[in-house]
Amino acid sequence: MIRPLAGMARVGLRFQLAYRSDVIMTVLALIAQVFLLRMVWTSVYGGAGQARGLTLEALLAYLSLANLQAFATTPIIPLIAHFRIRTGMVFFDLSRPTGYLPQMAAFQAGHTLGGLLMLAPAVPVVLLVGTITPTAQPLGYAATLTLGYVISVMMSLLICVIGFWTLETGAISLLYRLISQFFAGTMVPLSFFPGALGVLAEALPFKYMGYVPAAIYVGHLSGGQVVQAMIVEVSWIAGLAVLLWAVWRRAHRRVVINGG
């Protein structure tokens, strides 16, 4: 069980490293994004010491982290599944003795690892631009981020499976990416979201991929809030596991293999 999955992870890793020039440009775009956010937020803060409980320094550190996290955790598997369902190659994935969902999850894990390797040279630049200092809550940060990553992978697995019905997940996965990044709080911390938008952002699970870990890192969330976040994350994972299992049981019975 473990060996084939390690193989899939290796494929994911190589896939990421194969498109180096694309990744370099994506990393440059990431640096430009953090730079832009820094400029915009510094300008609007002006002389204000604090807004919504965040100093400018804490906010800039938050934004750098949230963007690094978003870059590293953006899922690739909906795109892979989209391509393989459209060309009929999903047949090969399904005929392997290892389950389809574990294969995809392993591929994603390898791909993320590759992304972290590519990201390594950019980290010092982003940290410098975003002025980040060590955190007082390393354990809470690592734990909430890891659980957030698991939620992110499970959500993208769900999109892959939806492809078995719609046969077309390109636009859905792009929409998912836009919506998840916005509600993860990569450009604005959730504490700034007004009214109903704030309530919605708090209720959705996307905040665990960006806002929650980054806010814990800079000390905006602490103590009981960290424990509470972890409990809710574990509940999300359990709920998504049940949902995935139920959807998958129906999905693989209605597989369509495109020929050609």
Where does this chain bind other proteins (CB under 8 A)? 21-22, 24-25, 28-29, 32-33, 36, 39-41, 43-45, 51-52, 168, 171, 174-175, 178-179, 181-182, 187-188, 192-194, 197
The DSSP bridge partners found for residue 54 are: 51
Smallest gap, in angstroms, from Cβ of residue 25 to other proteins? 4
Least Å from the CB of residue 90 to other proteins: 20
**Alpha helix positions (H), the chain:** 2-18, 20-45, 56-73, 77-87, 90-95, 100-119, 122-130, 138-166, 170-184, 195-203, 211-217, 224-251
* Of 45 and 91, CB closest to other proteins: 45
Least gap, CB of 22 to other proteins (angstroms): 5
**Interatomic CA distance for residues 73 and 148, integer angstroms:** 9
Instruction: Please identify, using beta-carbon distances, which residue of 109 and 122 lies nearer to other proteins.
Output: 122
C-beta closer to other proteins: residue 60 or 237: 60
Q: Which CB, 139 or 175, lies closer to other proteins?
A: 175
Name the minimum Å distance from CB 5 to other proteins: 31
Query: Smallest distance, Å, CB 12 to other proteins?
Result: 20
For the residues of 214-256, what is the DSSP string, one character each? HHHHTTSS-THHHHHHHHHHHHHHHHHHHHHHHHHHHHGGG--
CB of 147 to other proteins, least distance (A): 25
Six-digit token string for 83 = 């391509």
Burial track 156-193 (b if 16+ CB lie within 10 A, e otherwise): bbbbbbbbbeeeebeeebeebbeebbbbbbbbbbbbeb
* Closer Cβ to other proteins, 13 or 187, answer by number: 187
DSSP at 54: E
CB nearer other proteins, residue 21 or residue 95:
21
